[in-house]
Amino acid sequence: MCKDNYHLCFRQLPQTVMPADLPDKFTYPLQYEPHPVAVMAAHDLQQTILTTCDLEHNFGITDDGLETGNSGLGKMFGVLIVITKENQIGYLAGYSGKLGERNDHPNFVPPIVDLLHPESFYRKEEALISEINREVENIETDDKFIESRLKLTKTIQAVEEELSQERAKLKRLKAHRKNIRTKAEMNLPESEFRQLCEQLKTESLEQQHEYKKLALNLKQQINDLEATIAPKEDRISRLKTERKERSAALQQKIFDSFSFLNFEGETRSLTDIFVKSLQKTAPAGAGECAAPKLLQYAFAHSMKPVALAEFWWGCSPESEIRKHGHFYPACRGKCGPILAHMLKGLQVDENPLNHCTTGKRDIQIIFEDEWIAVINKPPGLLTVPGKEDHESLYSIIKEMFPKATGPLCVHRLDMATSGIVLIAKTESVAVFLQKQFIDRKVEKRYVALLDGMITEDSGIVKLPLRVDIDNRPHQLVCYQYGKPAVTRWKVAERSNNKTRVTLFPVTGRTHQLRVHMAHQHGLNTAIVGDDLYGQPAERLYLHAEYIRFTHPHKRKLVTFTSEPDF
């Protein structure tokens, strides 16, 4: 880890780079195509990792980038092109989190806060929390304690069963006495009837007394058993409460200890940065990603950041989509607010998504009557307005159909996806059509071009999806909290190391087709131009080409198609 002499972290580029070769503005970190100089630096770092750098970490890949099938963990690396105060052009290298249980590997920028140092507050508090965990485990795994808990559980079950039987017996006896009274009332003289009622009442009171006596005796057995384990149960409860409080306090102390410089020399804490964000509180791990670490080091040593690139190195994780050697933008949830502060005062590229809308002239009407319209949406156009005030299909068709009273867009396509969108002109028509989507009676077909060769001819992908709360709008594969997502697929053509597939979504989750194509347990091949789950291109090669539904007025099935332009 380079602390004192910053030149230990400064790396020479493999080729001479002149100031004219550098970009005019810094990389917009949340959506970008890496600058050629940053790509050069990334390739140089990758070669270093392969040949000369012992990072003591199992990336789960062979030297040629193939996954080994053994347990491994890929990591995000970053390179930052900088100009030093001596006007040297080179780059800094960093990685997210830790590698091989270390965060102090030579020639990489250090962490902003060294939580892994043996004398750090984190290590000391972690040791105390670990001791609490061990004590809880020792109590919970003690043979006598387990035996006592089991005996208590069985006793409670036996007592409940016995008392249940006694209550049922009392209920039968009560019914029997009622039957006796009913018959006696009709057949006995009044004085004898009253005498009988008193006798039956006495029996009832005696039986209730015996039941209460039994219940007290049985519950005393439970109390006695509970008393034998109560001290240990109380100890476990106190330990778990202490652990929860210590963990929360430790997390807050971590947040408070992180502070970030920016280009203008200002410093703000992690807590202060996030309190003014949409999240309000920082997520765990915020500040430990490659991009903030690289910028922090550059600002602390009077280096000017010029360009940034981050790439994944190693096997794919189970939940999110990360491909070995591919470039990725910084995460929006953890890094977005931090980088917004750190880049203040630096000239930064605009968000390219701000220029990804298409004008009204590109909207094609496939079909229209007084109830519906079927539209061919171009790529790069939002279906409905987002948080930013961008042009959308909704805003365009409002002008196209000024007399329409319905919510118009019955369903959505991703901004990057082209193809058929169904429009309802009245609210009642929208309700009728939306019910067909909910009941999965609408048939849809998509065509996609995949960035690789698929050997199988057809199949089904079943991967449950949920939103990545730290990196919206990305989706994660999650078997615990994800919603079911099913896609049928069939190969249409193979050529030029690309595969054209036809997709039949059974469900309609956000980014379903894109994730199901790119994920390692799906087809493991991203759609061409998928800048979220694959590699960017001039467009996303995904098109909604077919729809079949029941017409809201004719009550007959209608079919519409739209051929893709790729």
For the domain that residue 542 is a member of, what is the CATH number? 3.30.2350.10
Q: What is the pLDDT of residues 278-313, one digit of tens each?
A: 778 888 889 999 999 999 999 999 999 999 999 999
- Rounded to an integer, the average pLDDT of 232-256 is 94
Q: Which two tokens stand for residue 346?
A: 């630096």
Q: What is the pLDDT of residues 63-112, one digit of tens each?
A: 666 666 667 889 999 999 999 999 999 999 999 999 988 888 989 999 99
pLDDT at position 324: 92
Q: Domain boundary at 290, 320, 352, which?
A: 352
- Do residues 212 and 246 share a domain? yes
- Do residues 336 and 361 share a domain? no
212 falls within a domain:
yes
126 falls within a domain:
no
260 falls within a domain:
no
pLDDT at position 389: 56
- Do residues 372 and 519 share a domain? yes
Q: Is the pLDDT of residue 360 over 90?
A: no
Coil, strand, or helix at residue 560? strand
- Do residues 343 and 368 share a domain? no
Q: Domain boundary at 194, 219, 254, which?
A: 254
204 falls within a domain:
yes
Please list the active-site residues: 414
Other CB atoms within a 10 A radius of the CB of residue 2 amount to 19
322 falls within a domain:
yes
Q: Is the pLDDT of residue 532 over 50?
A: yes
Q: Quote the domain boundaries for residue 555.
A: 356-561
270 falls within a domain:
no
Q: Domain boundary at 325, 352, 379, which?
A: 352
- Do residues 437 and 460 share a domain? yes
Residue 490: beta bridge partners? 458, 502
Q: Report how far residue 119's alpha carbon sits from residue 552's, in angstroms, rounded to the nearest whole number.
A: 71
Structural domains counted in the chain = 3
- Do residues 479 and 379 share a domain? yes
- Do residues 154 and 224 share a domain? yes
pLDDT at position 71: 73
- Rounded to an integer, the average pLDDT of 516-535 is 94
Q: What is the DSSP letter of 441?
A: -
- Do residues 425 and 505 share a domain? yes
- Do residues 310 and 399 share a domain? no
- Rounded to an integer, the average pLDDT of 239-246 is 97
- Do residues 413 and 508 share a domain? yes
Burial bucket for residue 161 (CB in 10 Å: 0-12, 13-18, 19+):
exposed
Q: What is the pLDDT of residues 436-484, one digit of tens each?
A: 999 999 999 999 999 999 999 999 999 999 999 888 889 999 999 999 9
Burial bucket for residue 382 (CB in 10 Å: 0-12, 13-18, 19+):
buried
- Rounded to an integer, the average pLDDT of 375-394 is 81
Question: Of 63-67, 322-326, 472-476, 534-538, where does mean pLDDT reach its minimum?
Answer: 63-67
Query: What is the b/e burial string over 244-260, where b = at least 16 CB atoms within 10 angstroms of the residue's CB?
Result: eeeeeebeeebbebbbb
The vertex-431 CA angle with 428 and 433, nearest 5°, equals 110
1 falls within a domain:
no
Q: Is the pLDDT of residue 7 over 70?
A: no
Q: What is the mean pLDDT of the chain?
A: 91
- Do residues 530 and 406 share a domain? yes
Q: Is the pLDDT of residue 190 over 60?
A: yes
Q: Is the pLDDT of residue 499 over 60?
A: yes
342 falls within a domain:
yes
Residue 419: beta bridge partners? 377, 544
Burial bucket for residue 163 (CB in 10 Å: 0-12, 13-18, 19+):
middle
Q: What is the DSSP letter of 204?
A: H
pLDDT at position 110: 94
- Do residues 483 and 523 share a domain? yes
Torsion-angle region of residue 59: left (phi > 0), alpha (psi -120 to 50) or beta? alpha
pLDDT at position 359: 47
- Rounded to an integer, the average pLDDT of 8-16 is 91
Q: Is the pLDDT of residue 390 over 80?
A: no
Higher-confidence residue of 387 and 173: namely 173
